[in-house]
Structure 1
Amino acid sequence: MRLIEETIESIKPAYEDVIKEAWLRIDSLTKPLGSLGELEEIAAKMAGITGKIHNKIDKKSVVIMCADNGVCDEGVSNCPQDFTVTITNNLTRGITGVCTLARFANSDITVVDVGVKGEFNNPKIIDKKVAYGTKNIVKEAAMTREEAIQAIEAGIEIVDKLAKEGYNLLGTGEVGIGNTTTSSAVLSALSGLSADAVVGKGSGLTEEQFQNKKEVVQRAIDVNKPNKEDVIDVLSKVGGFDIAGLCGCFLGAAKNRIPIVIDGIISSAAALCAYRLNNYAKDFMFPSHLSAEPGVVYIAKELGVNPMLNLRMRLGEGSGCPLAFNIIESALYTMDNMATLEEATIDGSCLVDIREK
């Protein structure tokens, strides 16, 4: 618990003065004011994170938390639970969706076993296993409070290590059959929204299976009665080790002042948990894409972020992060390499501000 407390206490907000300086440069570039839209917002936000107007990404990685969920016993997924072990191993072979996209974006991946129901003899998988999967949340709490803390701290430790190794852009991903159910339960508990409002079809459920999934989430809330004012209580009762680990990643990134990208519903739920623990954590978050899961819209609204892309993706694994990496680096490169109005000998008086007031 000490690492969590120290991390939360150490998180400071964005450098607002540097953001203002960044906007002065952005608005001096040879373009109509606001005409590069979100690219300008990204460049300014990055300045607030690092304290520098000019920023360059040196090393990047998608951190993938892998864990199993006891709620799979309730038929909430079309995939058998042992897929988690298989996919986790396949991440290290470089053959999954996120691996392919990360390779294209010149990004590394960091694979973490935080609670998979199985053993690995694979040096490419970081062992942070808390337990062999969670309990079935419709019958009891997913984990103990101490286990939730251990999983959060595992995420913080991973990011601390990556920060020391020189990584200055991170993404968040996960692998775990059943984790759209646990993330929906976490969101429902924290927001007070009904299961009907936040539960999506996940891995392509039939209508009958979809209805069952919503009922499972509601039963989990009713049985465990998580305290919405206590994030760790919510995670321990209806969450998953992967969500808790990713929550730690978001907290660790904010502590180390490293930008971190949100992927789909599972990492969105983790981002919301981190935000509830320290509101300044959102200053370091960048959303990647608009997931097909309905809960993402609520979380994005609370965090005050707008997904960069809408590609109808619902793969998970952190697959949206490499795409966002490319956009972030494009924004930084553009802002550093465009000429100013003065350098281009253009009279800026004719360039109208088209940004929303």
Structure 2
Amino acid sequence: MFSISRTDKRIASQLQEKIDTKTKPLGALGQLEAVALKVGLIQQSLTPELKKPHMLVFAGDHGIVSEGVSPYPQEVTPQMVLNFLGGGAAINVFCRQHGIDLEVVNAGVAADLPEHPKLFDACVARSTASYLNAAAMTDDEVKLALQRGADQVTRVAAGGSNVIGFGEMGIGNTSSAALLMHHLTGIPLAECVGRGTGLDEKGVLKKLAILQQASANYIESNGGHPDHNPLRILARFGGFEIAMICGAMLKAAELKMLVLVDGFIATSALLVAHALFPEVLDYTVFTHQSDESGHRKMLSYLKVQPLLKLDLRLGEGSGVAVAYPLVVSSVAFLNEMASFADAGVSGEELVSGADDAGNESSDAS
């Protein structure tokens, strides 16, 4: 279904030289330099461009909610979709602020939704099944969800976008993300489960107990052995919105787009994508570390560093939209900042004074 290759590194030395010879001490722009290098490698250009930034928010419901893993009912999912369409959610505000086009995709909401020019119907089914004792999705549903996520990205890319982020909405989806994390990384389930939409300590313990039982039932159904097939793990515990984000990320990488990765839920989709195609990381920038307890360990497992840590735990793609100006700044300095030669500045002297400059900055702050 997908064909993803590593970014061509032959241009890397030229990009790095361009970054290093800007009028600054070596490495002084920190993560912005890493982002500039990555964007240049993705686009195979010393002068990359960010075109028509796009946000797709995938929404889907989860059958496991009937077991009591969330303090909120499923009805909140379609209510929030209507809020997105009305322009009133946080993600709408941040996307408007930074000129990001926002669209919503119905991946599997358990309600009727109105027709709207910014709503795309890719519904596989009205909610997944409860995975307490059986699979959330059939194998065919997983394949269909992956393809429909990919189709949305193909449509966006055809409109001229080369940078894309993914948000999600689905009551119960932190439970799915925690189980995907546990089974894909081997990290103990207790370290993967967090407060989600605001559980107290008692609620977290209840959630953990339900997810531990779901995991044990799955292993027992597999002859007492863990299953390491990422698509089967996705089918057992995933959501339609998570599966579509996974397919969307893989298609975006195939099309050599810059993929901006949000928090806990989106990174769980990325874990599946990475298990299938490790090359996908060449196309990703991780925008922020969620306040959901397992996200830091997800990022550590992938050996990636987020641009921001703002204690966000909203989802919706909010971390992508808030961090996008940093990506813009990364490309801007690469394209517009003077080099030592352009400015007639002695690069050797400036670099040798990097420690002094860093100390002065620290004192000033």
**Shorter-chain TM-score: which interval?**
over 0.9
Q: Matched residues, percent identical?
A: 32
1:138 aligns to 2:132 (yes or no): yes
Kindly provide the CA deviation profile for residues 239-269 of structure 1, in whole angstroms up to 9, marking residues without a partner as x. Answer: 1111101101110110000011111110000
Corresponding position of 1:292: 291
Report what 1:343 is aligned to: 342
Pairs within 5 Å for 1:323-334: 323-334=322-333
Distance in 2 (alpha carbons) for counterparts of 1:335 and 1:255: 25
Name the counterpart of 1:180. Answer: 174
* Whole-Å separation in 2 of the counterparts to 1:129 and 1:39: 38
Three-state SS of the structure 1 residue aligned to 2:340 is coil
Alignment of 1:6-85 (within 5 A): 7=2, 10-85=3-78
How far apart in 2 are the matches of 1:230 and 1:110?
31
Structure 2 partner of 1:128: 122
> What's the offset of the Cα at 1:207?
1.1
Residue 228 of structure 1: CA displacement? 4.2
Larger Rg computed on CA atoms: 2
Q: How does 1:272-283 map to 2 (within 5 A)?
A: 272-283=271-282
Whole-Å separation in 2 of the counterparts to 1:323 and 1:20: 30
CA drift of 1:140 comes to 1.3
- Of 151, 159, 164 in structure 1, the residue corresponding to residue 158 of structure 2 is 164
Deviation at residue 343 of structure 1 after TM alignment = 1.2
Look up the equivalent residue of 1:177 and give its one-letter code. I
CA RMSD of aligned residues (A): 1.3
Where does residue 320 of structure 2 map in the other structure?
Answer: 321
State yes or no: 1:262 paired with 2:261: yes
Distance 2:169 2:259 in 1: 18
Give the AA of the match of 2:102. Answer: I
Partners of 1:291 and 1:317 lie apart in 2 by: 12
Give how far 1:229 is off: 2.4
| 1:157-209 residue CA offsets vs partner (Å, 9 max, x unmatched) | 11111111111111110000000001101111111222211101011111111
Alignment match of 1:153 (pick from 147, 163, 170) = 147
Does structure 2 retain, via aligned residues, the 8 Å contact 1:21–1:53?
yes
TM-score by length of 1: 0.94
Q: Which runs of 4+ in 1 moved over 6 A?
A: none
- The one-character-per-residue Cα deviations of 1:302-345 (angstroms, maximum 9, x if unpaired) are 32221111111100011111122111011101111111001111
- Asked if the contact 1:77/1:205 (under 8 Å) is kept, the reply is yes
Deviations 1:194-245 (A, max 9, x none): 2211101011111111001111221111112375421110010011111101
Task: Give unmatched runs, 5+ long, in structure 1.
Answer: none
Cα distance in 2 for partners of 1:20, 1:93 equals 47
1:191/1:228 contact within 8 Å kept: no
1:152 shift after superposition: 1.0
Q: Which runs of 5+ in 2 are unaligned?
A: 356-365
In 2, the alpha carbon distance for the partners of 1:307 and 1:287 equals 5
Mapped partners of 1:219, 1:262: distance in 2: 30
Give, in angstroms, the shift of residue 301 of structure 1. Answer: 2.0
Helix, strand or coil for the counterpart of 1:343?
helix
2:183–2:228: 8 Å Cα contact kept in structure 1?
Answer: no
